[in-house]
């Protein structure tokens, strides 16, 4: 960004936090009113942290806590820090502590959503269309498969109900698991849940490329692995063989050879052919033509190695890990970190999400009288629902919160 773009970005952010950031909804969400009586001051004990910029230098402000939406907005819009003009870049959400902070007192983290974080660069090994932070519609399919595999694991295996799926603004997704008992879980429980979900851990020399597949028959595997295989199979041809031609990649070949060796399918002739061929469909046909009782288990490992969700485990396993909140603006792409429907993730296209300049342009077209606040002790009117490209995501968030707080009818 040149200096002018930088100035525009900062100015736009200010208007965004004033009128388009769903501040009251963020407070309503994190209050979990169904579980918490107001006197517990649950929301006020939540840590927020902020990244700000002064003259191009960024700094962090940790352990900020707020009574309500008004306090949070006042802080977001306050651009004076120690007599210098600062700009808020992003906000992070931390844990709920045992008490409000007092100087010199130690705080204990009591609750935090488990957030499952998947970044596209974890797939660099198997994708050929882009690398690093870049994404396109082709490689986004990896994350759609990840959602398809994780959805039944979370909703059925763990019986969870309240998962807020959020696009991280550039190359990944965050699944905020908000169920009450999950928020209260210890680091050990967090690690156990992530351990259950994270089976694609081996490198090319690992004893197991995919964990828990020592059985010789697919039918004897844990049902969740069989289910993941069934789901991934449906995408393997299009994504791995056609779109990405992943099997020609050297490290992928190395892993395939390890799997074929471990399942005792590999012979010198097959190894030589796999080394020489650079067309994924041909390699796959060759593997599938092998006559072995263990062929199915080898295919399962290769398919899951390519398509099983690659979780960034350390984000999920500690209770006081800070993470960028929903409706942040990603500073590099200027895209809004919008929620999406996990049950319909194939319909979500990250390249269609609203950008900061576009929604600020739409905001500027709204009449000024809509933007006046009633008095100085109130938050500024929220106009996100008036912005066509933003309003469906606001609606999704609102529905998520009201579903959470709806009393259960037995």
Interface residue list for Zn ion (CB under 5 A): 129-130, 136, 138-139
Structural tokens at position 114 = 């488990």
Active-site hit among 28, 47, 179, 243: 47
Residue 119 annotated as catalytic? yes
* Size of the chain, expressed as the number of residues it contains: 410
Structural tokens at position 304 = 């899951």
Please give the helix or strand (H or E) that residue 357 lies within, else none.
helix 356-364
Collapsing DSSP to helix, strand or coil, 62 comes out as strand
The number of helix segments (H) and strand segments (E) in the chain equals: 14, 11
Please report how close the Cβ of residue 130 comes to Zn ion at its closest, in angstroms. Answer: 3
Closer residue to Zn ion, CB minimum distance, 139 or 337:
139
172-177 β-sheet, strand order: 114-119, 172-177, 163-167, 339-340
Which residues lie across from 167 on neighbouring strands? 173
Structural tokens at position 118 = 């998947």
Rounded to an integer, what distance in angstroms lies between the CA atom of residue 348 and that of residue 333? Answer: 17
Closer residue to Zn ion, CB minimum distance, 14 or 138:
138
Closer residue to Zn ion, CB minimum distance, 130 or 204:
130
Residue linked to tokens 């210890």? 186
Closer residue to Zn ion, CB minimum distance, 110 or 129:
129
Rounded to an integer, what distance in angstroms lies between the CA atom of residue 204 and that of residue 299? Answer: 16
Closer residue to Zn ion, CB minimum distance, 139 or 304:
139
Please report how close the Cβ of residue 303 comes to Zn ion at its closest, in angstroms. Answer: 20
Please report how close the Cβ of residue 290 comes to Zn ion at its closest, in angstroms. Answer: 31
Collapsing DSSP to helix, strand or coil, 19 comes out as helix
**Reduced to 3 DSSP states, what percent helix, strand and coil does the chain have, rounded to the nearest 5?**
50, 15, 35
Please report how close the Cβ of residue 329 comes to Zn ion at its closest, in angstroms. Answer: 23
Active-site hit among 117, 148, 179, 243: 117
Active-site hit among 28, 119, 148, 179: 119
Residue 117 annotated as catalytic? yes
Please report how close the Cβ of residue 128 comes to Zn ion at its closest, in angstroms. Answer: 8
Contact 35, 113 (CB under 8 A): no
H-type alpha helices, 237-330: 250-262, 268-276, 280-288, 295-307, 313-317
Please report how close the Cβ of residue 242 comes to Zn ion at its closest, in angstroms. Answer: 14
Closer residue to Zn ion, CB minimum distance, 133 or 286:
133
Which residues lie across from 190 on neighbouring strands? none
Closer residue to Zn ion, CB minimum distance, 126 or 149:
126
Please report how close the Cβ of residue 351 comes to Zn ion at its closest, in angstroms. Answer: 10
Residue linked to tokens 């009782």? 293
Contact 307, 240 (CB under 8 A): yes
Q: Known catalytic residues?
A: 47, 117, 119
């Amino acid at each position: 960004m040149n200096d002018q773009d930088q100035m525009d970005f900062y100015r736009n952010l200010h208007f965004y936090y004033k009128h388009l950031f769903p501040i009251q909804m963020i407070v309503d969400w994190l209050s979990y009113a169904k579980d918490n009586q107001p006197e517990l001051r649950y929301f006020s004990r939540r840590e927020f942290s902020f990244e700000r910029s002064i003259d191009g230098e960024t700094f962090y402000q940790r352990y900020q806590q707020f009574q309500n939406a008004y306090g949070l907005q006042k802080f977001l819009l306050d651009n004076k820090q120690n007599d210098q003009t600062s700009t808020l870049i992003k906000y992070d959400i931390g844990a709920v502590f045992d008490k409000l902070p007092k100087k010199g007192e130690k705080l204990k983290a009591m609750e935090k959503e488990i957030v499952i974080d998947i970044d596209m660069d974890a797939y660099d090994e198997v994708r050929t269309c882009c690398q690093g932070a870049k994404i396109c519609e082709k490689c986004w399919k990896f994350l759609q498969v990840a959602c398809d595999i994780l959805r039944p694991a979370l909703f059925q295996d763990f019986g969870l109900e309240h998962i807020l799926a959020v696009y991280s603004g550039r190359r990944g997704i965050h699944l905020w698991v908000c169920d009450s008992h999950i928020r209260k879980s210890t680091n050990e429980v967090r690690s156990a849940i992530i351990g259950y979900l994270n089976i694609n851990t081996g490198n090319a020399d690992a004893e197991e490329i995919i964990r828990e597949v020592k059985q010789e028959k697919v039918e004897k595997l844990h049902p969740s692995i069989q289910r993941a295989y069934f789901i991934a199979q449906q995408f393997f041809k299009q994504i791995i063989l056609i779109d990405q031609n992943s099997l020609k990649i050297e490290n992928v070949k190395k892993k395939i050879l390890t799997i074929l060796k471990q399942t005792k399918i590999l012979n010198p002739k097959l190894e030589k052919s796999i080394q020489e061929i650079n067309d994924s469909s041909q390699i796959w046909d060759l593997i599938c033509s092998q006559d072995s009782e263990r062929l199915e288990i080898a295919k399962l490992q290769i398919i899951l190695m390519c398509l099983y969700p690659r979780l960034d485990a350390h984000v999920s396993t500690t209770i006081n890990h800070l993470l960028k909140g929903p409706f942040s603006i990603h500073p590099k792409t200027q895209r809004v970190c919008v929620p999406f429907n996990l049950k319909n993730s194939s319909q979500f296209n990250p390249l269609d999400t609203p950008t900061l300049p576009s929604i600020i342009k739409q905001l500027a077209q709204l009449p000024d009288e809509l933007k006046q606040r009633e008095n100085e002790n109130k938050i500024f009117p929220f106009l996100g629902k008036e912005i066509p490209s933003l309003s469906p995501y606001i609606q999704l968030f609102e529905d998520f919160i009201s579903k959470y707080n709806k009393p259960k009818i037995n």
